[in-house]
Amino acid sequence: MITVDPNEVEFTAIRAQGAGGQNVNKVSSAVHLRFDIPASSLPDDVKARLLASNDQRITRDGVLVIKAQTSRSQEMNRAEALQRLQELVDSVATPPRIRKATRPTKASKQRRLEGKTLRGQIKARRGKVID
């Protein structure tokens, strides 16, 4: 398992959005986590898969931005943002398995054709009834 070095992560405290009364207006409890993927110490193949992933949180420069604001505590939001970053890195850590092309068996082709024939016969009987 690849762990993200906390020294490579930059945190910025911002005000949270949404309801919450005066606490939202006064306290900067939400957190923006910024992680520069190309400059990180992750292995090159993991960096490439992270940058190739079609994630809208990754900027053109390769900086991943995660916003955490679910908790009223800034420390809990920091922990949540780090956890989400780690989950994202874990999801691309293992390379995807390469699919091997296979052919259908003779029996499966035969079953398919029998099913099509049966269905065609059912549809053919739907015409006008002639006495």
114 within domain boundaries: no
Quick check: 6 pLDDT over 90? no
105 within domain boundaries: no
85 within domain boundaries: yes
Mean pLDDT (the chain) is 90
Per-residue DSSP letter, 61: T
112 within domain boundaries: no
128 within domain boundaries: no
Residue 34 in contact with residue 65, Cβ under 8 Å? yes
What is the pTM (predicted TM-score) of this model? 0.72
- Reading the block at residue 111, the tokens are 């079953």
Q: Diameter of the chain by CA atoms?
A: 87
Q: How many CB atoms lie within 10 A of CB 7?
A: 7
What pLDDT, on the 0 to 100 scale, is given for residue 103? 96
What pLDDT, on the 0 to 100 scale, is given for residue 3? 87
Q: Region 4-10: what's the mean pLDDT? A: 89
What pLDDT, on the 0 to 100 scale, is given for residue 25? 72
Domain of 32 in residue numbering reads as 6-93
- CATH code at position 33: 3.30.160.20
C-alpha distances (whole Å) from 34 to each of 21, 31, 117 are 28, 10, 60
Q: Region 42-57: what's the mean pLDDT? A: 92
What pLDDT, on the 0 to 100 scale, is given for residue 28? 82
Total structural domains within the chain:
1
CA–CA separation, 30 vs 72, rounded Å?
Answer: 8
**Residues 60-92: tens digit of each pLDDT:** 999 999 999 988 889 999 999 999 999 999 999
66 within domain boundaries: yes
**Residues 13-34: tens digit of each pLDDT:** 988 887 767 776 777 888 999 9
124 within domain boundaries: no
What pLDDT, on the 0 to 100 scale, is given for residue 17? 82
